[in-house]
Structure 1
Amino acid sequence: MRDKREKFIELANKRVVSAIDKMRLIGNLSDNRYYQYSDADVKKIIDALTKELNSVRAKFQHNKNHKEKEFRLEV
């Protein structure tokens, strides 16, 4: 069981740091000295990122809820 935990920690650390780095790069696109964008462009970017973050949250919540459910028949 410890191996699964260690693997989770190893991969989570790498992947979260990578995701944060990529998000910072996306944030760099806001510098209007170098880039031109519209409010619609910004909305599409934010909506896509929010949708994916919500999907990740739902996956973790689903796994948590799935494990906590009990089944019991009653008379």
Structure 2
Amino acid sequence: MTEKHDKFRELAENRTNRAMDSIRRIGNLSNRHLYEWDDAEIRKILKALKDAVAEVERKFAAPKVSREKSFKL
């Protein structure tokens, strides 16, 4: 593998594991014995998480834009 690919894999694994840990911690907030919340708050949290994932998907799905655009009339 190339050096860029190795770096990508290293960062992707670390960042994904941290994100998953954070999501699990958000799930811990569901304990009604320790916390109080209403459905509207939960909907906001879930929408924010879904929007963030959708943004990541959009970035990876976007076609690669050529940096060398030429001008023509």
Structure 1 and Structure 2 fold alike (TM over 0.5)? yes
- Deviation for aligned residue 1:55: 0.2
Give the letter aligned to residue 55 of structure 1: E
Q: Which residue of 1 aligns with 2:28?
A: 28
1:18-70 CA deviation, whole Å, 9 max, x = no partner?
A: 000000000000010100000000000000000000000000001xx337xxx
Answering whether residue 64 of structure 2 is matched by residue 66 of structure 1, we say yes
**Correspondences of 1:1-75 after superposition (within 5 Å):** 2-62=2-62, 65-66=63-64
Residues matched between the structures, number: 65
**Runs of 4+ off more than 2 Å:** none
Structure 1 or 2: more helix by fraction: 1
User: Alignment partner of 1:34: what SS?
Assistant: coil
- Aligned CA RMSD, in angstroms, stands at 1.3
> Equivalents in 1 of 2:18, 2:64: separation in Å?
28
Length-normalised TM-score, structure 1: 0.82
